[in-house]
Amino acid sequence: MANPPATSSSAGPVLRGLHNASIKRNLAISLGLTAIVTVAFKLFVNDPKKAAYADFYSKYDANKSFERMKAAGRFQSC
């Protein structure tokens, strides 16, 4: 009864350069995710905010606002 040995002579895991390979892979993934998040933030946060400010200031009348605050008694010097 010849039992095979507990460990076989097959090739072991390749460990040489594993750290560098994983760093390259993680760096590529992180750069890709960073680009995706940056574009998403621009499209879903910055652009609507910019449009809201442009809309507000296109309709804003500073003199009308000043007269409204003056009538409400907000200024002591006027």
Interatomic CA distance for residues 14 and 6, integer angstroms: 20
> Rounded distance, CA 22 to CA 28, Å?
10
Q: What is the pLDDT of residues 17-46, one digit of tens each?
A: 999 999 999 999 999 999 999 999 999 999
- Is 3 a member of any domain? no
Q: What's the whole-number average pLDDT of the chain?
A: 90
- Rg (C-alpha) for the chain, rounded Å, is 33
How many domains does the chain contain in total?
1
Domain span at residue 52? 47-73
Q: Is 65 among the domain residues?
A: yes
CB 66 within 8 A of CB 58: no
Mean pLDDT of the region 56-76 = 94
Q: How many CB atoms lie within 10 A of CB 66?
A: 13
Residue 21 lies in a domain: no
pLDDT class of 13 with cuts at 50, 70, 90:
confident
pLDDT at 1: 56
Instruction: Determine, yes or no, domain membership for 33.
Output: no
> How is residue 8 written in tokens?
């076989």
- pLDDT of 76 > 70? The answer is yes
Q: What is the pTM of this model?
A: 0.62
